[in-house]
Structure 1
Amino acid sequence: MCTHTRTVKGHWQSEGGEDIWVDDHEVPTTRDIDLHRYECTKCGKVMYYSEAARRYYEEGITCSVKGLEG
């Protein structure tokens, strides 16, 4: 599993009609790439939301999960 993150600098944010300060914080560097898969934008590692999705994409094994059925 990839644990890369990026820093989001502190900023003002509107919430419920009120401006609040949000401190610097870390967020994951992942993005969805297609059904049941996501990747790290720093290292390119592809990860899966489930073991069934991994088996489908890496081994071609279908299952009853919507979008991964045969």
Structure 2
Amino acid sequence: MICTHRHADCWVWQDVEVGLYGETEQQLVNVGGESAYEDLDTGRFRCTLCDEVGYYTGLWKRFFEEGVPCPGSDRIKR
């Protein structure tokens, strides 16, 4: 299972709907931290905090771990 690391939380001021008629007010909202993932190549990503590698789909995982071709894998060097 891929980790759930994120960088520090981020709080920003946003317009939030508060009324029945579309009224908004500025509220401080936690939008979460920035993702710690970076793309390695087509089909794979890596956490920059723990170096765990994840795959965008099960087909890409099978390609990188077992060598089973998938759509687009003909353009990737293993």
Structure 2 residue corresponding to 1:54, chosen from 32, 46, 61: 61
Superposed CA RMSD in Å reads: 2.3
Structure 1 unmatched ranges of 5 or more: 12-21
Structure with the largest fraction of strand: 1
CA deviations 1:10-45 (Å, max 9, x no partner) are 57xxxxxxxxxx866312200001111000000000
Using the TM superposition, give the Cα deviation of residue 50 of structure 1 relative to its aligned residue in structure 2, in angstroms.
Answer: 0.4
Structure 2 residue corresponding to 1:33, chosen from 24, 30, 40: 40
Q: TM-score, normalised by structure 2?
A: 0.62
Q: TM-score, normalised by structure 1?
A: 0.68
Structure 2 counterpart SS, 1:7: coil
| Whole-Å separation in 2 of the counterparts to 1:34 and 1:69 | 13
Number of residue pairs matched? 61
Structure 2 unmatched ranges of 5 or more: 13-27
Answer with 1 or 2: which has the greater Rg.
Answer: 2
Identical columns (%): 29
Structure 1 counterpart SS, 2:39: strand
Structure 1 runs (4+) deviating above 6 angstroms are none
